[in-house]
Amino acid sequence: MARFNPDFWEIPVNFDKLTEFDTRRALWYETDEEREFRWRREDRQEQLMPELMEIIENELTSKQRQAVMLYFFGQKTQEEIGQIMEIPHQVVSQHIHGIRRNGKKIGGAIARIRKACKERGIYLKESRSTGSESQNLSERAVLVL
């Protein structure tokens, strides 16, 4: 008699029964519109990446550049970046997002990237609903950076 592992149970299923399920209700289902949007976004990211990398290289301080590269490309948390850079995670946040002094936002890599992109006529986020472009850089997925 076969021994069963309680962590992994194989259950025989008739393949014909599986095909009866509506795949549009599955979590991984992607409509044609969503697929087209994803393809446009991926093409746009591929086109923008060289210019974005140039901006990161030339417009940011070395600390900002290191924090941005680890945060967006390395997918590290601010705490992990702080350990790597040997600085408090609050300072990492300041390098990436800037700081408020007297109600005014000062510094931050994202603000510098936005400014450089605006000067070059680059808009980083495409709106799904209208297909128009805006300057919102807050989503990590759009930056891929």
Residue that the structure tokens 């936002």 belong to: 105
List C-alpha distances in Å: 54 to 37, 38, 50, 117.
Answer: 26, 24, 6, 11
What pLDDT tens digit does each residue of the chain (145 aa) get?
566 666 766 777 788 877 777 766 677 778 889 999 999 989 988 988 999 999 999 999 999 999 999 999 999 999 999 999 999 999 999 999 998 888 888 889 999 999 999 999 887 665 454 433 333 333 333 443 4
The residue ranges of every structural domain in the chain are: 34-143
